[in-house]
Amino acid sequence: MTAPLVEVRDLAKTFDVSAPWLNRVVERKPRQFVHAVDGVSFTIERGKTLALVGESGCGKSTVARLLVGLYAPTRGDVRFDGQSTDAGQNAGDLRALRRRMQMIFQDPYASLNPRWKVLEIVGEPLREHGLATDTESLRQRVGELLLQVGLAASDVEKFPHQFSGGQRQRISIARALATQPEFLVCDEPTSALDVSVQAQVLNIMKDLQKSRGLTYLFISHNLAVVRHVADQVGVMYLGRLVEVADKAELFSAPRHPYTRMLLDAIPDIKMSGRARTPVQGEVPNPLNPPTGCAFHPRCPHANARCSSERPALSVFKGVQVACHAVQEGRI
């Protein structure tokens, strides 16, 4: 078995959200931290798609940004094709590494500079990495990229506001593909799009994956979309991974109580009216996470151990679960 393309070990990111120094001194407030990502580990095989799902505040978007280098990790290690992406590395190597991974963002309206033409937007990575130096070759390369995502080569002269949301997202994809990366991090790429447009974009992404052997990290809160695109699924809650499993396994036999609750809660057009267990509670404030297992206040199977000891992500019958009750065989 070949080595995985992406390896993440004990990744963590803590944000300091304390009040300004003066306020803290005058009002005697303590420093406050948010552990947006709290020890996350996973691997992604070449050519596969790992989806990270979870609700707001679970840290999935932060993980995406940690992987592409928009944030520096507080601790932990990210390895791409065996090489660490630590900032301490040689700058030239790091740059070459970064060329091989790119990102697609959620908001099609904010992810393209409104004052730049499409030619400049999609051509920027080509220019930056020296892949196309004169205007003619730039124009040609950009035209080819646009054709690959289903737009016309003549669109290079247009501005983003002349396109619809779905078309803008395709321009984003074209930009991400410019440096011919192997790994794409997609942060909710279709959440802001209408359903029929979403279908277009998802189909394009799947086609591109097949034709280019791309590896995806797909962030989403929409389990139905995840089921359509992913090979493996990781469920996050309050900055931790609670379950990682192959798609079929996760959707047919979810283990972690949170995963079960999520799957039960989704309104689905083909499966309406089914019996469900009612959902309890809400996602806790990340400034004040529960002790032990983060899910225990909402969990119908929690016991004393759950409120004091944090469960580790360990393998159980072929899936990775972080749950005492599952590991003890109680559920």
Partner 1 sequence: MNTTAPSPGRLARMLDSDVWYSFKTSPMAILAAVIAFLCIFCSVFAPWVSPYNPFDLASLNLSDARLPPAWMAEGSRAHLLGTDGQGRDILSALFYGARISLLVGFASVAVSLVVGVGLGLLSGFVGGKVDALIMRICDVMLSFPSILVALLIDGVGRALFPNAQETLAFGVLIVAISLTGWVQYARTVRGSTLVERNKEYVQAARVIGVAPLRIMLKHVLPNVMGPVLVLATIQVAAAIITEATLSFLGVGVPPTSPSLGTLIRVGNDFLFSGEWWITIFPGAMLVLIALSVNLLGDWLRDALNPRLR
Partner 2 sequence: MNSSPLLEVKNLRVEFATRRGTLLALDDINLSIAPGEILGIVGESGAGKSLTGAAIIGLIEPPGRIASGEILLEGKRIDNLPYEQMRAIRGKQIGAIFQDPLTSLNPLYTIGQQLTETIQTHLPVGAAEARQRAIKLLQDTGIPAAEQRIDQYPHQFSGGMRQRVVIALALAAEPKLIVADEPTTALDVSIQAQIISLLKRLCKEQGAAVMLVTHDMGVIAETCDRVAVLYAGRVAEIGPVADVIHNPSHPYTVGLMGSIPSMDENRERLLQIDGSMPRLNAIPKGCAYNPRCPNVMDRCRQERPELFDAGATRAACWLVSPEVQTVRVNA
Residues that bind partner 1 (CB under 8 A): 65, 68-70, 95, 98-99, 102-103, 105-107, 110-116, 121, 124-125, 128-129, 150-152, 154-155, 157-159, 162-163, 167, 172, 175, 179
Q: Which amino acid is at 317?
A: K
Rounding to the nearest 10 degrees, give the CA dihedral for residues 268, 271, 272, 275: -120
- Give the interface segment with partner 2, choosing from 2-10, 22-30, 110-118, 257-265 (CB under 8 A): 257-265
Neighbours of 224 (CB within 10 A): 12
Q: Based on CB atoms, which residue is closest to partner 1, 105 or 218? A: 105
Burial class (CB in 10 A: 0-12, 13-18, 19+), 155: buried
Pick the closest to residue 317 from 247, 255, 240 (CA basis). 255
- Give the interface segment with partner 2, choosing from 34-42, 62-70, 274-282, 306-314 (CB under 8 A): 274-282
Residue with tokens 């974009």: 201
Q: What is the distance between the alpha carbons of residues 267 and 273, in angstroms, rounded to a whole number?
A: 9
Q: What is the distance between the alpha carbons of residues 313 and 295, in angstroms, rounded to a whole number?
A: 14
**Residue 93 binds partner 2 (CB under 8 A):** no
Q: What is the distance between the alpha carbons of residues 102 and 182, in angstroms, rounded to a whole number?
A: 8
Residue 308 tokens, joined: 């004091």
Residue 110 contacts which entry, partner 2, partner 1, none (Cβ below 5-8 A, type-dependent): partner 1
**Sole binder of partner 2 in the list 15, 33, 71, 251 (CB under 8 A):** 251
Q: What is the distance between the alpha carbons of residues 176 and 27, in angstroms, rounded to a whole number?
A: 47
Residue 269 contacts which entry, partner 1, partner 2, none (Cβ below 5-8 A, type-dependent): partner 2
**Sole binder of partner 2 in the list 122, 171, 223, 293 (CB under 8 A):** 223
Q: Based on CB atoms, which residue is closest to partner 2, 283 or 312? A: 283
Pick the closest to residue 75 from 12, 5, 14, 23 (CA basis). 12
Burial class (CB in 10 A: 0-12, 13-18, 19+), 227: middle
- Smallest separation, CB 163 to partner 1 (Å): 6
**Residue 279 binds partner 2 (CB under 8 A):** yes
**Residue 196 binds partner 2 (CB under 8 A):** yes
Residue 162 contacts which entry, partner 2, partner 1, none (Cβ below 5-8 A, type-dependent): partner 1
- Smallest separation, CB 213 to partner 1 (Å): 21
Q: Based on CB atoms, which residue is closest to partner 1, 41 or 179? A: 179
- Smallest separation, CB 221 to partner 2 (Å): 6
Residue 272 contacts which entry, partner 2, partner 1, none (Cβ below 5-8 A, type-dependent): partner 2
Q: Which residues of 62-84 are buried (b: 16+ CB within 10 A; e: fewer)?
A: bbbbbbbbebebbebebbbeeee
Residue 254 tokens, joined: 């979810």
**Residue 225 binds partner 2 (CB under 8 A):** yes
Q: Based on CB atoms, which residue is closest to partner 2, 84 or 191? A: 191
**Sole binder of partner 2 in the list 139, 206, 212, 305 (CB under 8 A):** 206
Helix (H) or strand (E) holding 75: strand 75-80
Strand partners, 319: 316
Interaction with partner 2 in 128-187: which residues (CB under 8 A)? 164-167
Footprint of partner 2 (CB under 8 A): 55-56, 164-167, 194-200, 202-203, 206, 221, 223-225, 227-228, 251, 261-273, 276, 278-279, 282-283
